[in-house]
């Protein structure tokens, strides 16, 4: 399947400056629903793994 960008969605939904890990996960989750410009699923898995590691260190 060809990758296509939803330019209108990207223009209206900018990633927050200095976004937290939680904000990045929320943005990429929404992005995956509205745009097909990249493999968001694998990127989301990486971000969620980082969040789990962060939470483990904080609770550890």
Residue 2 counted as domain residue: no
Residue 14: DSSP 8-state: P
The pLDDT of 26-37, averaged and rounded, is 89
Tell which wins on pLDDT, 59 or 11: 11
Any domain includes 40: yes
Tell which phi-psi region holds residue 43, choosing left (phi > 0), alpha (psi between -120 and 50) or beta: alpha
Q: What is the pLDDT of residues 8-18, one digit of tens each?
A: 999 999 999 99
Q: Is residue 26 part of a domain?
A: yes
- Determine the structural domain holding residue 25 and report its residue range: 19-59
Q: Please tell me the predicted confidence (pLDDT) of residue 10.
A: 92
With beta carbons less than 8 A apart as the criterion, state whether 38 and 2 touch: no
pLDDT at residue 21, rounded to an integer: 92
Does a structural domain hold residue 7? no
Q: Does residue 42 lie within any of the structural domains?
A: yes
Counted domains in the chain: 1
Mean pLDDT of the chain: 88
Q: What is the b/e burial string over 9-47, where b = at least 16 CB atoms within 10 angstroms of the residue's CB? A: eeeeeeeeeeeeeeebbebbeebeeebeeeebeeebeeb
């Amino acid at each position: 399947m060809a990758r296509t960008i939803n330019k209108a969605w990207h223009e209206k939904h900018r990633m927050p400056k200095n976004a937290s890990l939680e904000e990045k996960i929320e943005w990429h989750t929404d992005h995956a629903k509205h745009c097909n410009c990249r493999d968001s699923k694998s990127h989301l898995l990486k971000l969620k793994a980082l969040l789990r590691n962060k939470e483990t260190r904080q609770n550890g």
